[in-house]
């Protein structure tokens, strides 16, 4: 007897889940995020390569019409009337607010077996950003674990919080790897100079 197939949530469903959460919990509305997605797609994809034709306004009246038309395109994709083109995924995710963009990107990367750690920038200000992101993810992880342990026992009703904690730990792990690469990169860059300087 064959085992039941283990189906995975479609990639588009992952993107839509993070999108819905962003709309509920950020300053974005359906319309403003749809426009952000349209603009990101047009910035990312050359005109001759585009599968979707988003609208651009040249004055107040046409801009309002373009906003509505772009909102309808995204709405039809979100409600399943039209399947999400693969070429849109990256721009869509990049258009999400940072918190949701990072979480969605990492979840999509994990589906391929990657941790989803960000390649670090080596500029000095990037170190400050890495510390800030570490702090945020550490706080989210502690909050998720605290919610699980609040009543002193773990039972089936804790499953959603356990899943959230696992996700937060994964995001913290990714930020740690990014920070480690930042420190390692600078150490490798500076260590030979230090050796050369002491030899002189």
Q: How far apart are CA 192 and CA 150, in angstroms?
A: 50
Q: How far apart are CA 15 and CA 40, in angstroms?
A: 15
What pLDDT, on a 0 to 100 scale, did the predictor assign at position 183? 86
What pLDDT, on a 0 to 100 scale, did the predictor assign at position 195? 45
The pTM assigned to this predicted structure is 0.68
pLDDT in tens, the chain (200 residues): 666 677 788 999 999 999 999 999 999 999 999 999 999 999 999 999 999 999 998 888 888 999 999 999 999 999 999 999 999 999 999 999 988 998 899 899 888 888 777 777 777 777 787 888 889 889 989 998 998 988 888 888 888 888 888 888 888 888 888 888 888 888 888 876 554 444 44
What pLDDT, on a 0 to 100 scale, did the predictor assign at position 194? 52
Contacts of range 137-144, beta carbons closer than 8 Å, 24 or more positions apart: 137/168, 137/171, 137/172, 137/175, 138/172, 140/168, 140/171, 140/172, 141/165, 141/168, 141/169, 141/171, 141/172, 143/168, 144/168, 144/169
Q: How far apart are CA 116 and CA 177, in angstroms?
A: 9
Nearest to 108 by CA among 121, 96, 125: 96
What pLDDT, on a 0 to 100 scale, did the predictor assign at position 199? 43
Q: List the domain boundaries for the chain.
A: 11-110, 124-199
What pLDDT, on a 0 to 100 scale, did the predictor assign at position 29? 94
Q: 73 and 52 in contact (C-beta within 8 Å)?
A: yes
What pLDDT, on a 0 to 100 scale, did the predictor assign at position 192? 65
Q: How far apart are CA 193 and CA 149, in angstroms?
A: 49
């Amino acid at each position: 007897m064959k085992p039941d197939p283990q189906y995975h949530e479609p990639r588009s469903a992952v993107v839509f889940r993070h999108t819905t959460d962003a709309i509920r919990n950020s300053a974005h509305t359906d319309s403003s995020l749809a426009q952000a997605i349209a603009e990101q797609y047009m910035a990312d994809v050359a005109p001759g390569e585009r599968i979707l034709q988003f609208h651009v306004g040249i004055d107040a009246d046409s801009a309002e019409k373009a906003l509505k038309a772009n909102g309808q395109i995204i709405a039809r994709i979100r409600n399943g009337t039209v399947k999400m083109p693969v070429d849109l995924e990256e721009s869509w995710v990049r258009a999400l607010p940072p918190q949701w963009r990072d979480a969605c990107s990492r979840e999509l990367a994990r589906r391929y077996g990657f941790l989803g750690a960000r390649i670090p920038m080596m500029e000095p200000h990037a170190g400050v950003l890495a510390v800030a992101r570490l702090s945020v993810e550490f706080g989210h992880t502690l909050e998720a674990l605290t919610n699980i342990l609040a009543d002193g026992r773990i039972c089936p009703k804790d499953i959603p919080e356990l899943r959230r904690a696992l996700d937060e730990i994964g995001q913290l792990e990714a930020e740690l790897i990014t920070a480690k690469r930042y420190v390692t990169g600078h150490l490798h860059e500076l260590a030979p100079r230090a050796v050369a300087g002491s030899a002189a």
